[in-house]
Structure formats: C-alpha cells, structure tokens
A and B are shown apart, each in its own frame.
Chain A
Amino acid sequence: MIDKIRSILKQANIDIWNIRELSTSSRELFFIRKDLDMNRAKKVRSYTLTVYRDFQDEGNSCKGSATLKLTPSMDESEIRAKVEKAYYAASFVKNPFYPLPSPGKTERNGQQEKSHDFQKSLDDLSGLTKSLYKNDVHELGGINSAEIFLSSNSYRILNSEGIDVSYSKNRKDIELICDWKEEGADVELYNMFSFSDNCPELVEEECRKQIEHCRLRAQASPATELKSVNVILGGNAIIDLMGFYLSQTTAKNKYEKLSSAEKGKVFQGDNVRGDLISLTLDPAIPGSSYASPFDTDGISLKQIPLLEKGVVRQFHGSLQYSHYLNIPPTGKIKSFTVARGDGRFEELKKEPYVEILTFSDFQMDNLTGDFGGEIRLALYFDGKKVSPITGATLSACLFDIQDEIYLSGDIIRKENYQGPKSLMFKNGHIAGS
C-alpha cells in the first residue's frame, strides 16, 4: 500500500509528503458483573497522508498542507483522486514556510515490542481478568461492569526527506464501573485506565481502590459549604492540572500568543509561597501507554526539561511551530514527569482539608486556567477526624492559586504522568448542598 501511495504521489508530482501507517490488532472482553457479556476482535490498518506544497503568496514563503486518511480497501484511482484533491486544497492553506524533518543520527527504528501473540492472547486476557476481579470479594459491592481491551499497534512513519522509522507498542485499556449497596445508599463510580506492560498489581489495586471508594461514597454525608479550606486534588485531576503547564509551554500556544510563559521566568509568579514546579517531558515513562520513540513527524523523542523550579526553560512541540519560534524542535511528546514536593504538603495535612477523590467530570481549561467539577467523593478532615462527603462542587482558577500549591512526596505513575500523587491549594471554596 505504501508503495502504491508513493507511486501515486510521484505521478502527481507531489514531492513533499508524510505517511503514517498504523496497524492494530485487538481482543476485547465486556463483562456485566462477573459474566462475559460479549467478546470482540479487531484487525484494521490505516494510512494518514499529509501532502505539502511550497509557494509564494504576496511575497511571503508559504507551506500549505492537507491531510487525508487512506484505507487498504481503496483502489488506485480512488487514492489518486483523493490525493489530487488534497494537494489542490493545500494551495489555500497559507501557513508561513517551515521545513520537514530529515533523518538524524539517532537509531533508525524504535523499540519493536513483541506483539501480542493472539493465539496466546486469551491467556493474557484471562490473566488480566483474574487480576481485575481478585479484589471483587465483598458482599455489598463490587464490579458492576468492566471492559478489557488488549491491543498491539505497529507504526511506520516516513516522509519525502528520507525519514523511515517504525516501532510497535502494546496497549491495555480497562474501563471499570463499581458499585456498593447498603441501607439507604446505592452508588457507583466510574474509572478508566491504560498501561502498556504486564502489571497485575496495578490492575488489582485500581479495582480494590475503586470498590473502597464506592463503599465510602455509600457512607458519605452530603457536603455543606466550606469556605477557605485547604483542598487536595489527586488522580486524573492532578494530571490535568499539571497538563496546564504543558499546554502553556507549547511552541504553538506561544506563537499564537495564547500563553503568558516567558523563557527564563518563573511561570507561577514573582512571589511563590508554595512548591515551585519542575516538569520534564519524558517520552519513555515505563509502562505508560503514551510512551513513544517518535512523534507523528518522525522526530526522535527524548527527555526535555520544561520547568525547573518554576522557571520556564524551553518551549516544546512540532517542527512547524518550533521553526516559527526559531527554537530546536523537541517533537510532540505526550508524557511527562513532575518532581515531588519539598515536604510542606505532608505538614499541611495536619490542618483541616478536603481531599477530593472523585469528580463527576473534572474540567481544566488550558486557556483560561479555570478548573472545577462536581465532587462525587471527598474526604473532609475537620482537624480531628476524617469523614467521607459527597455532592459538593469546586470551582477555581489556576492562575489565582498557583503561587501557593504544595506537591506531595508520594509519587504515582498513571497514564501520561509520573509525579506527585496529590497537590494542595489553600483557601478553596466548596459549594455544598
């Protein structure tokens, strides 16, 4: 198929292009309670082609582009028609010129993970299922429904400048809904997580924790309004909050004047009383399904320090926007690490706090800094005892609180993130029932 696409590109005199091939095979199991509801399998292949054209527009050097998706079932005439249409469309995309990446001195290919042997994948699925259900042992609650996805992905990226790299990666996704029913309460909680390596302990722990949170939610009291309280956020919320700094330091946002970050300056402000954030892009976090040796342009990825003790060290992103800012391209890296706090978080936990364990839908606005959501489960420490609460709402703005946030010493590895398990900010306002 790639030869076919290249031949069509040559015939159409299109000499600047990028092709990404993705082949995916998967086995999927769907459970209701402990029973298998459906099994599915998938075998698909797709090609994403970007065609470029360089031209002059009112004295400016431009690079236009258009992207299209091709599938193996397309014949030559259909591909040719789509390619020619895309190439024509590219002439109306008047972006300032930028080069395409060329082959570097790095290794040609990324790690070729051994693909799932789908003859053996039922054993893997069975093992994963056993880990998931290991802690589903309670009379009053447990797994309501679960979905398990086991997939093998093979990538190949090539462009007109000579890049031709490939790698493969396995991925596992689990969606889990647990519930708990006792007198006066019948509750459930949702969770979804992914990983790339075999880690039964992670799967067992996610399920155990979620059932425990359901039990706590069943026993939780409706929250009352809490003014000026220390608020602790963890789980997906801390990933989203730290992701804000990732977004603010992209070359694209800097170029489009959507970021106030300045290289060499502390992003959190001039008078930071809390922890200064140190954040590093890391394309190879062990076990992360987001780890990748190359980005979609075929740029070889490596660790990049973005924030060091709050100071912006670098902007990051694609070759296109890096070229516009005249900085070295880091490539598009999705995963990152954050350094642990200096210990004040643990000290502050002696004061009253609300630790939010689960939101209905935590929303982080990477442009405005606004964040918040409905609290499905939180722990309230009033200075003497810890009680579960539910049904409250949090709303705040990261720009307003970032001068005094405290990061935990405990570290977690989750999705595209490795860093403090929790962060705390002061003077939070919880809207209660």
Chain B
Amino acid sequence: MKVEMSGFLIKQKQALKDLVKRLSEDYKYVSILGTDTSGTRYQLSRTGSSINESSWVERGFVSRVYNGKSYSEYSFNEIDNMGDVEREIRQTIADNKTLIENHGFNSVAYPLLEDEELTESFLGEIESHPEQSSSEEIINSLRSEMNRGLKLADYLIDLRMIYEYAHVSKLFISSGKELEQSYVWSQGYSYPIGQNEKGMKYSYRSFSGMKGIELLEEMKAGVEPAVLEVEELLNAERLLPGEYEIICAVASAGVNMHDGAKAAFEVSSYLFDDEGTLGTDTQVIEKGILKSGISDLLSAAKLGTVPTGNGKRESFERKAYSRMTNTFFSPGKDKLEDMIASVKKGYLLENYTCGMEDPKNWGIQCVALKGKEILNGKLTGRTVAPVYLTGFVPDLLQSISMISGDLKLSGSGACGKGYKEFVKTSTGGPYLKTKGRLA
C-alpha cells in the first residue's frame, strides 16, 4: 500500500509558499522545511509494558534565509499567526547583522545557493500500515513471542520485545522547489537478559526496514538466537587484550564503500534531504581509493562541489549537518568458512552495540557483544565478551585480506554527532578479515 502524505503539511503548503514569497522580496534565498512524523513504540517485558509515542515524532518548521553573507535559521511550531513567524525570521536575520556590526563578529562568507526549479514527490510503499493496525494486535504479537522465548531457557530474567515505527512526512518549499515525501520505517528488537553465578548478560536481535507491521513476522526469527546467545555470553571469558586477526560481521570497513539515500533501501532512504537536495548514491571508496566525500548543501557550496544529499537534521528544531544515510561496503567473493579457515589465531566478532570514529585522526572504536575464538582455522567454541575493537582506520583498511559475498544492512540504530544530533541511519556490509586491537 502507498503511504499517505501528511494532511497537515498539505494544508499548510499555501501559507508556507506565501511566506517564502514575502521573504523573497527582501532576501535572495529563502526555504522552509516542514516535518510531520508520527509513530509509536510498543515495549513489553516480563514485568510490564508501555505504549508511547516514538521519540522520532515531530511536527514543525525551519526556515533558512540568506542574510547577505551566510545563512540564518529559525525553528518554530506555532503557526496561528504567520505574521509573528515572519517577524521572528526577520529578527533572526537582524541578529546576525547585530552580531557582526555591534559585537565585532566575523562571518564565514557563503555563496548564494542556486535554487533550481524542481517539483517532485515520493510516497513510500509498505505491506501493512501500523496506523491501521490495532494496538492489541501489535502487543499480542510481542507478548506471544516474549512468552515463547521465556520458555526457552531457565537462565532468563527477562525478554524485552520492542516494536517501533515512524511515519515520516516532509515538505520543502523555496522559490524554485516544491518537494514532498512520505514514508514509513519500522524497527524491532528482541532483547533477552540472563543471569548465572558470574553475573548478568544480555543479547539482542534487531530488524528494520522501510516496512510496516510486517516486520513483526520477521522479528520471530530473532528470539531463539538471541536467547541462546545469552547463555553463550554468560559463560564467556574476558579477552586477553592484544592485536589479533579478526573477522568482523557487518562492520564498517572495506574497500568499496557507498553511502546515500539511494544507495540502498533502508531506514535512511528518501527522495530529498532536510535541505531540499535530492538523495544520491555516493561511491566513497572504489577499489581502496577514496573517491568522494558526503556533503550537506552549505559545505558543498563552500567547497565548490556537488551536494550529495546528506544534509540531515535530528528534527526541525536542529541544524542540518553532513550525515551518513545508508552506509555499507560492497560484498566480495570469499566464503565465511574459508575466511575462518585462514585465521591462525583470532576472533569472529559479532553483534555490535556501538561505534565511534575519531574523524581527523582516523581512530575507530566498536564494541561487540562477543568474539568467537578461532585457532588454526577452526572455531574453538570459546567465547570472549565484551570486545572493544579499536585502531587506526587506514591500518584496518589496509589489513583487509578477505571479504565475504553477503551484504546485510541494519537500520535499527541511530548515529549521533558526538553525543547529540541523532539521525536515523543504516549501516552494514559483508564479513571482513583484517587485523585489529582488541580489549
């Protein structure tokens, strides 16, 4: 079924166009992004449950105006009086002038953004819309899986089941552009927690995609592996820190790398970004050579490059930055069993919980729930947990000696800029054999 565009945004379109027109009489570039995202998060545990609106829910607007040297933005969500909104937008532009003229600030100089004529729209497609399903149906599905999972092992303290969806609608208006898009993404987790005499451990399996409640069916496949993995983790040992040969499951490193809203069909696939630039497929690395970076509209304008459609905002309340979308490494031709057979002493790392890069200094940190020991080409059955993979990205990339043929993306997480500006992304890739420092 086709996803429907927000009726609220459609209703506001003419008023926004009028506002852009009025401001355009005085300013050479004016744009407004309108967002309307609805969604719900259903969570069930042994001791209770909750149904709350998704943290991705938002409804509001952000204007961007060329102030003569750079750009000023104003975020708002009260539209009863568009005259007040217009005054606030003009005040924000005046603030910039005051800071420069009265407070001695220097301003970065940006070129005037080109505003080509473009009218496009995109409506996503899903099998079954969560907004047309009852809460009872969703909760019962989660409860059924929770009850089934809890019976699988007596070491379980809890088994949390989570399903969340977001119905995203965005409208972008400028003098030249009129863009609309609406789509639905869903994500789900099974999250068992277990305990033995050594302590507590948890595992998870996550599912995501541009999908509706059909994801609930997919989630059923994750319960048993996650529960069994808890037992493995409860009996795991701590790793002896050092440098090892490693095989990373769906990690972010490789030799052919892509990013883009159109590079894959996952939770960060869209027609246009939060600055009205159409999404693309950027080949970041080709055969080991850096080919292109990703950019938002302003950084591309400053650098004189073509924007790649990566200007994303956490919400209408926040600034746009160059951000990841669907980022992955292209598959190779090796088989996982051959990769394991080639390792003399190392680990197969699985189930990452977080990652952080050190952009300027090429550092990287990933935390995996577990590492499965490989000795003389065979999995020994011994597991270490947790595992901190760290290192120097060029070294990690240069050490890649084998790449498996499969490709799997996961969009169940989010990416922050430092510890804020969280945006929805998907990442993934094939298994990679490389060398890394583990602790």
Q: Please report which residues of chain A, range 16-33, place their CB below 8 angstroms from some CB of chain B when the two chains form the complex.
A: 27-30, 32
Shortest distance from the beta carbon of B402 to any chain A beta carbon, whole Å: 24
Residue of B nearest to A67 (CB): B52
Shortest distance from the beta carbon of A41 to any chain B beta carbon, whole Å: 4
**Does the CB pair B199–A399 fall under 8 Å?**
yes
**Does the CB pair A45–B78 fall under 8 Å?**
yes
The answer, yes or no, to whether A357 is at the interface (CB within 8 Å) is: no
**Does the CB pair A93–B51 fall under 8 Å?**
yes
**Does the CB pair A373–B72 fall under 8 Å?**
no
Contact residue among B108, B317, B364 (Cβ-Cβ distance under 8 Å from A44): B317
- Cα–Cα, bound, A38→B302 (Å): 13
- Cα–Cα, bound, A367→B204 (Å): 14
**Does the CB pair A44–B60 fall under 8 Å?**
yes
The answer, yes or no, to whether B407 is at the interface (CB within 8 Å) is: no
B29-73 CB mask vs A (1 if < 8 Å, else 0) is: 000000000001000011111111100010110000000001111
Contact residue among A37, A73, A90, A369 (Cβ-Cβ distance under 8 Å from B51): A90
- Cα–Cα, bound, A368→B80 (Å): 50
**For A89, what are the chain B residues with a Cβ–Cβ distance below 8 Å?**
40, 51, 135
The answer, yes or no, to whether B165 is at the interface (CB within 8 Å) is: no
- Cα–Cα, bound, A395→B209 (Å): 33
**Does the CB pair B158–A36 fall under 8 Å?**
no
- Cα–Cα, bound, A350→B134 (Å): 65
Contact residue among B75, B199, B239 (Cβ-Cβ distance under 8 Å from A369): B199
The answer, yes or no, to whether A385 is at the interface (CB within 8 Å) is: no
Q: Please report which residues of chain B, range 207-259, place their CB below 8 angstroms from some CB of chain A when the two chains form the complex.
A: 238-239, 241-242
**For B135, what are the chain A residues with a Cβ–Cβ distance below 8 Å?**
66, 85, 88-89, 92
Residue of B nearest to A28 (CB): B319
Interface size on B (CB < 8 Å)?
Answer: 81
**Among B180-188, B282-290, B386-394, which stretch is in contact with chain A?**
B386-394
Max chain B C-beta neighbours (<10 A), residue from A36, A66, A187: A36
The answer, yes or no, to whether A80 is at the interface (CB within 8 Å) is: no
Max chain B C-beta neighbours (<10 A), residue from A41, A71, A192: A41
**For A112, what are the chain B residues with a Cβ–Cβ distance below 8 Å?**
none
Number of A-B contacts (CB under 8 A): 226
Residue of A nearest to B242 (CB): A431
Residue of A nearest to B105 (CB): A36
- Cα–Cα, bound, A75→B70 (Å): 36
The answer, yes or no, to whether A433 is at the interface (CB within 8 Å) is: yes
**Does the CB pair A433–B437 fall under 8 Å?**
yes
- Cα–Cα, bound, A188→B357 (Å): 12
- Cα–Cα, bound, A374→B72 (Å): 37
**Does the CB pair A257–B360 fall under 8 Å?**
no
**For A43, what are the chain B residues with a Cβ–Cβ distance below 8 Å?**
74-76, 78, 88
Q: Please report which residues of chain A, range 344-368, place their CB below 8 angstroms from some CB of chain B when the two chains form the complex.
A: 360-361, 363, 365, 367-368
**Does the CB pair A175–B418 fall under 8 Å?**
yes
A38 and B319 in contact, given A94-B49, A360-B365, A395-B388 (Cβ under 8 angstroms) = yes
Residue of B nearest to A149 (CB): B420
Contact residue among A42, A365, A393 (Cβ-Cβ distance under 8 Å from B437): A393
**For B390, what are the chain A residues with a Cβ–Cβ distance below 8 Å?**
360, 373-374, 393, 431
A370 and B91 in contact, given A38-B71, A192-B420 (Cβ under 8 angstroms) = no
The answer, yes or no, to whether A258 is at the interface (CB within 8 Å) is: yes
Max chain A C-beta neighbours (<10 A), residue from B91, B92, B95: B95
Contact residue among A38, A95, A188 (Cβ-Cβ distance under 8 Å from B73): A38
**Does the CB pair A188–B98 fall under 8 Å?**
no
Residue of A nearest to B356 (CB): A361
The answer, yes or no, to whether A39 is at the interface (CB within 8 Å) is: yes
- Cα–Cα, bound, A73→B364 (Å): 43
The answer, yes or no, to whether A381 is at the interface (CB within 8 Å) is: no
The answer, yes or no, to whether A142 is at the interface (CB within 8 Å) is: no
**Does the CB pair A391–B392 fall under 8 Å?**
yes
Residue of B nearest to A430 (CB): B241
**For B361, what are the chain A residues with a Cβ–Cβ distance below 8 Å?**
186-188, 376
The answer, yes or no, to whether A288 is at the interface (CB within 8 Å) is: no
The answer, yes or no, to whether B139 is at the interface (CB within 8 Å) is: yes
**For A66, what are the chain B residues with a Cβ–Cβ distance below 8 Å?**
51-52, 135
**For B53, what are the chain A residues with a Cβ–Cβ distance below 8 Å?**
67-69
**For B158, what are the chain A residues with a Cβ–Cβ distance below 8 Å?**
256-258
**For A34, what are the chain B residues with a Cβ–Cβ distance below 8 Å?**
106
The answer, yes or no, to whether A182 is at the interface (CB within 8 Å) is: no
Max chain B C-beta neighbours (<10 A), residue from A29, A186, A360: A360
**For B265, what are the chain A residues with a Cβ–Cβ distance below 8 Å?**
none
Shortest distance from the beta carbon of B85 to any chain A beta carbon, whole Å: 9
- Cα–Cα, bound, A290→B92 (Å): 28
**Does the CB pair B75–A38 fall under 8 Å?**
no
- Cα–Cα, bound, A433→B242 (Å): 8
Residues of A participating in the B interface, judged by any CB pair closer than 8 Å: 27-30, 32, 34-46, 65-69, 71-74, 78, 85-86, 88-90, 92-96, 122, 125-126, 129, 175, 179, 186-188, 190, 192, 225, 255-258, 360-361, 363, 365, 367-370, 372-374, 376, 391, 393-395, 397, 399, 429-431, 433
List 22 A-B pairs, Cβ < 8 Å.
A34-B106, A35-B107, A37-B70, A38-B73, A40-B73, A40-B319, A44-B75, A45-B77, A72-B80, A73-B8, A90-B51, A93-B50, A93-B139, A186-B360, A188-B360, A256-B157, A360-B356, A368-B200, A372-B388, A393-B388, A395-B239, A431-B437
Known pairs A32-B108, A39-B73 / 5 extra A-B pairs, C-beta < 8 Å: A41-B91, A126-B103, A258-B157, A361-B355, A367-B200
